[in-house]
Amino acid sequence: MSATQWSWRRIYRRNALVFLLAGAAIAAWGFATFSLDRRSEADAAYTRALNLADLLAEYTGQLFRGIDYGLVGLAESLDMSRLGEPSYAGPAHALLSARRALTEDVFAFFVLDGEGRVLYSSRTPSPEPVDLSSREIYQRAIAGEQGLIISRPITGAVGYAEGEPILNVSRPLYSDGEPVGVVAAAISLSALEAFYAALELGPYGAVGLFRDDGVLLARSPPRPEIIGRDFSDVPLFQEHLPAAPRGTYYRSYYSDGRYRYSAYRRASGEPLVAFVGLDAASVMASWRQRTAISGGALVLVLALLGWLFLRSARAEASERALEAAYGERLETLAGESRELVAAPDADTLAGGVLALALRLVTADHACLRLRGLGAEGHEYRRCVDGDGRRLDAAALPEGGFVASVLAEGSPRQRMLADGHWLGVPVLTPDRACIGALELYRGGGSAFRDDESHLLQQLVAVAGAVLENQRARAAERRALEANVAAAREKERILESISDALFVLDRDWRFTYLNERACQLLERDDLEGENVWEAFPEARDTEAYRHYHHAMASGETVSFEFYYPPLERWFSVRAYPFADGLSVYFQDVSERVAMQQQLQQAQKMEVIGQLTGGVAHDFNNLLTVILGNTEILLEETSAGSAAQDAARLTQRAAERAQGLTQRLLAFARRQPLAPEALDVARLLREMEPLVRRSLGETVMLETVSAAGLWQAFADAGQLEAALLNLAVNARDAMPEGGRLTIEAANAHINERYAAAIPELEPGQYVVVAVSDTGAGMDDDTRERAFEPFFTTKGKHHGSGLGLSMVYGFAKQSQGNVTLYSEPGEGTTVKVYLPRWHGQTASGGPKPLAPPVPEGNAGRGECLLVVEDDPMVRRFVVNALAGHDFRVIEAADATTALEQAAALPRPPELLLTDVVLGGGMNGPALADRLTDRFPGLRVLYMSGYTENAIVHHGRLDPGVDLLQKPFGRAELLRRLRTILDRP
């Protein structure tokens, strides 16, 4: 066996082993890659399913919490004592309709009586008398079950919902601790399923909503035959939910046998479970396609490796003979390259390259051409003969192919009649061609590949040295440009209005502009980790959004509150390759204004409700007080009947005070504003306030010099200040100091924007400050709500601050409250300044005495009142007083009776608000046109806007405020009738 054959076989065996090892490694890598890819697809499916389950749980939880809030509000608002009365249908319908207007996801709100019949509905004032006693929402609620009750999906039975697939939710209504009915809401199942259908689940995907006892409430794609079915025996309820309220699992489905990646989430605070299932076959379709393509490619790679194995084995044996000589020349090249690297300029480098090229390769002459040298980009060419002597480049012929070498960037050889040309491109490290080395050899010997490779190594060194020389020059120029650009960038970043900081991938600050340092109150943050510098931020929205932006590459915008700085921030975070750019602003002032506006809107809604309650209550109190007054006159002194009547009178008078305060809060009381000397009023009130405070509280009153006159109702202001003083006394049980200050205030637009409903202008401000216990945030937010009080039972009605609030608002002013626990409380009442002539400030004339004997003198009175009890009381009160009384229940009847009278009536006594389409003022206009001398006295417990505008009684209008007694009625009638 020859040495060449033995060497070839040894090379074959070695390459075969390498081939087998490489093939095994590639196959193992392919299997691992396919497995990891499949696991990644499964993890992505679990994550997507879990995110969708979270979304559905949050959406459904918020939906049902909002509906539950509405049901609780209705349960508190409904009058249980009037449940079932036909006269209560209108108010109940109004309450249900108002609540449905605030809850857009509800199909209808309705009320069932104790036997399960529909009483009231938000859809119609007169609902169909449908019996729903067999429904789950009735049976569970009437049994006293607590919390929100959700029914199985059903088909609606009421007319407006008949045939409609719906979900019912309910809560029981209690009276004296016993369930007496049900308040419920209907939700369209179709609308809920439409929301689920909008989610992109892919083929065979499914989403569902269960009750926590396993009943299926909704599903997409819809399957009516299983909606309402009990699934409590499936693994979701048997295995997964008992273990964790949120999770994922992988199972086949009983209905179609398909495997799905499934996720579930229990809704927070509600008996609901959201479920999402993604079809496994659909999820893995792309993985199977990738696996097939990659597997084919792997087979091709293994085949290519086999071919290369055979080719390399043969080539290696033939190349070994040239390796020794090539190695020697390569060592020579490596040794001489050190001098080339140290070349200071292109000319020195060119001489060294040409000399070394002729040592490595035999040639008759050699030339080196370089282009793009210097800032001007000129070309350079240098030539030498076989002995290294420099030649005139212009006198030498060219190979004729240098242009193609420069263009293609690859070696090229050309044979001529008298010899061979070899061209080798000079390449930079990034493979850019910047020149060429040309060699000419006469005779028939061509340039070998190993010679070409040596020259390529040589010119690679030359290219690297040239590129290094050019890079150093470019670096000097770039450094100057970068310094200028950095200064310009810093100037731009510092000039923007937003605060800006930049985080790297390790969450460290790399840049902060001056505005960011100001808002974060730190100027030493560069290089620090954001979560270590601000550890409290881990518990805010910023932590989640920043990580999401960094992981997904998506821009995020959000607002969050950072407690240590006591600020709200609006943030926009932009991810980039090296980290995150964060722009933010301090929006604390805007958020505070929004919260104040929401509080003002809340108080307006409460005011409208309380005003309506006071209206009906005043009618009842008119009858109670009036008839009690008659009973006191007609029963003997000291009798049990008179004592009972007097007790009833005192209770009714207390109720009258409550309704007056309710009307004050609701801004529905008729005010009589006047030019008011507040300083004088405080001086006159001081003795009364001192007596109310007691000996343990020190009182100080201060009025600013040059105090303006206010335009307000003096009596209401006195009541408001006395209420505030009593509240302050109760807040200082151990004693303290109470200060009442009056000062002028000019409110500009910026300050007025921070106080809802306060217009810019001039005001007189009365501030009442105490040194008491103060209020926490929750108490401060609810302080002006009617009936809210922190005092114990039987201590205060909770209407004092409510009355002050309503009085200030109705006076076109405002009231603000500042309080801190342990620091005391300050209440400021803003009253508009009087811009007219200075008021005299003298005492008001006393009311005329009650007429003795008969108050009437034969006058004809037309009494119009739509409330039969009030009308009967007025008629009875006028009986026996020499009045001729004509009564009517509405304006139409009054007009007919007036037309039939033999002589015109002397006075019209009418309620302001009447049924039948015509109110009291409209009736008075019609009658005064017919009877020009007719006197008019209005009665009202709730003035609306008929005779009171902007909180003030219209000029020339006489009003008898409900409730009133017989004596007050007779006095006012006599006063008006005697008026010239």
The DSSP result for 178-201, as a single string, is: EEEEEEEEEEEHHHHHHHHHTS--
Percent of the residues in the chain that have a pLDDT greater than 90, as a whole number:
7
DSSP-derived 3-state class of residue 263: strand
CA distance 603 to 415: 101
Sign of CA dihedral 394, 399, 404, 405: negative
Whether 907 shows a pLDDT value over 90: the answer reads yes
pLDDT at 708 over 50: yes
Confidence band (pLDDT; 50, 70, 90) for 841?
very low
Task: Give the pLDDT of residue 220.
Answer: 81
CA distance 766 to 769: 10
Residue 145 φ/ψ, nearest 5 degrees: -65, 135
Give the Cβ contact number of residue 418 at 10 Å. Answer: 10
Tell me the average pLDDT of the chain: 79
The half-sphere exposure of 865 on its side-chain side, counting CA atoms within 13 A, is 24
Nearest to 67 by CA among 139, 150, 165: 150
Give the model's confidence band at 598: pLDDT under 50 very low, under 70 low, under 90 confident, else very high: low
CA angle 408, 409, 410 (to 5 degrees): 95
Confidence (pLDDT) at 651: 64
Q: How far is CA 119 from CA 87, 113, 137, 683, in A?
A: 12, 6, 15, 57
DSSP 529: B
Length in residues, the chain: 980
Give the up-direction half-sphere exposure of residue 936: CA atoms within 13 A in the CB hemisphere. Answer: 20
Burial class of residue 829 (count of CB atoms within 10 Å of its CB; 0-12, 13-18, 19+):
buried
Q: How confident is the model at residue 843 (pLDDT cuts 50, 70, 90)?
A: very low
R_g of the chain computed on alpha carbons? 48
Least confident of 96-100, 591-595, 862-866, 926-930: 591-595
Region 224-252: mean pLDDT is 87
- φ/ψ of 46, rounded to 5, equals -60, -45
Which residue, 781, 801, 802, 800, is CA-closest to 607?
802
Average pLDDT over residues 72-93: 87
Average pLDDT estimate for 714-736: 82
Query: Is-contact 618 962, C-beta < 8 A?
Result: yes
Number of other residues whose CB lies within 10 A of the CB of residue 251: 16
Q: Which of 149, 188, 145, 171 is nearest to 270 (CA)?
A: 149
Helix (H, G, I), strand (E, B) or coil at 448: coil
Cis peptide bond upstream of 221, omega within 30: yes
The predicted pLDDT at position 253 comes to 76
Question: Alpha-carbon distance 337 to 320, whole Å?
Answer: 25
Tell me: the pLDDT tens digits for 159-181?
A: 666 777 888 899 999 888 888 89
How far separated are the first and last CA of the chain, in Å rounded?
A: 152
SS (H, E, C) 104-173: CCCCEEEEECCCCEEEEECCCCCCCCCECCCCHHHHHHHCCCCCCEECCCEECCCHHHCCCEEEEEEEEE
- Are 52 and 276 a contacting pair, CB within 8 Å? yes
Q: Are 211 and 150 in contact (CB under 8 A)?
A: yes
Is residue 544's pLDDT more than 60? yes
Alpha helix (H) ranges present in 635-713? Answer: 640-666, 678-693
Task: Write 501-507 long-range contacts (CB < 8 A, 24+).
Answer: 501/525, 501/582, 502/579, 502/580, 502/581, 502/582, 503/530, 503/546, 503/579, 503/580, 503/582, 504/578, 504/579, 505/550, 505/578, 505/579, 507/531
Averaged pLDDT for residues 466-470: 76
Tell me the mean pLDDT in the region 258-269: 87
Predicted pLDDT at 443:
73
CB 721 within 8 A of CB 689: yes
Integer Cα distance of 898 and 894 in angstroms: 6
**pLDDT value at residue 126:** 81
Per-residue tokens: 447 = 């340039």
Residue 724 vs residue 467, higher pLDDT: 724
In this prediction, residue 314 carries a pLDDT of 66
Q: Which residues neighbour 979 within 8 Å (Cβ) at sequence distance 6 or greater?
A: 935
Return the closest-CA partner of residue 137 out of 71, 58, 192, 232.
71
- As a whole number of angstroms, the distance between CA 721 and CA 682 comes to 9
pTM listed for this prediction: 0.35
Grouping H, G, I as helix, E, B as strand and the rest as coil, residue 667 is coil
Interior/surface letters 5-14, b for 16+ CB within 10 angstroms, e for the rest:
eeebeebbee
Q: How many CB atoms lie within 10 A of CB 445?
A: 10
Report the distance separating Cα 356 and Cα 350, nearest Å: 10
550-554, 834-838, 909-913: range with lowest mean pLDDT = 834-838
pLDDT tens-digit readout, 184-216: 998 888 777 777 777 778 888 888 899 988 898
CA pair distance 752, 18, nearest whole angstrom = 85
> Tokens at residue 544, please?
């989640």
Tell me which of 733-742, 759-768, 947-956 is least confident. Answer: 947-956
More confident residue, 822 or 910: 910
As a whole number, mean pLDDT of residues 941-950 equals 52
The per-residue pLDDT for 910 is 92
Q: Please determine, for residue 943, whether its predicted confidence score (pLDDT) is greater than 60.
A: no
Q: Can you tell me the distance from the alpha carbon of 408 to that of 431, in angstroms, rounded to the nearest whole number? A: 11
Minimal CA–CA distance to 721: which of 592, 563, 829? 829
Q: Which of 75-89, 309-323, 924-938 has the highest mean pLDDT?
A: 924-938
Determine which of 223-237, 441-455, 794-808 has the lowest per-residue pLDDT on average.
794-808
Average pLDDT over residues 270-299: 85
Count of other CB atoms within 10 angstroms of residue 321: 10
Q: Would you place residue 589 in the very low, low, confident or very high pLDDT band (cuts 50, 70, 90)?
A: confident
Spatial contact of 907 and 973, defined as CB atoms under 8 Å apart: yes
Preceding omega of 963 cis (within 30 degrees of 0): yes
Query: Which of the two residues, 400 and 349, has the higher pLDDT score?
Result: 349
- Asked if the model's pLDDT at residue 287 lies above 50, the reply is yes
Give the pLDDT band of residue 649 (cuts 50, 70, 90): low
| pLDDT at residue 650 is higher than 70 | no
Query: What token pair was written down for 723?
Result: 């209420």
Distance between CA atoms of residues 242 and 913, nearest Å: 61
Rounded CA-CA distance 728/740 in Å is: 11
Which residues, listed in sequence order, are joined to residue 761 by a DSSP beta bridge? 747
| Nearest-angstrom CA–CA distance, 289 and 283 | 11
Strands 710-712 and 761-770, by their bridges, are: unpaired
Kindly state the average pLDDT of the residues 800-823. 76
- Please tell me the distance from the alpha carbon of residue 595 to that of residue 602, in angstroms, as a whole number: 11
Least confident of 205-219, 397-411, 798-812, 823-837: 798-812
E strand map for 779-883: 814-820, 824-832, 860-864
Banded model confidence at residue 667, pLDDT cuts 50, 70, 90 = very low
- Per-residue pLDDT of 122-145, as tens digits, reads 888 888 788 888 888 888 888 888
- Answer yes or no: are the C-beta atoms of 86 and 99 closer than 8 Å: no
Element at 40 (helix H, strand E): helix 3-77
Question: Does residue 923 contact residue 864 with C-beta atoms inside 8 Å?
Answer: yes
Question: Using alpha carbons only, what angle is made at residue 410 by residues 406 and 416, rounded to the nearest 5 degrees?
Answer: 80
Nearest to 78 by CA among 602, 604, 609, 601: 609
pLDDT of 491 reads 56
Confidence of residue 37 (pLDDT cuts 50, 70, 90): confident
What pLDDT is recorded for position 79?
A: 86
**Residues 512, 518, 524, 528, CA torsion sign:** negative
The predicted structure's pLDDT at residue 936: 92
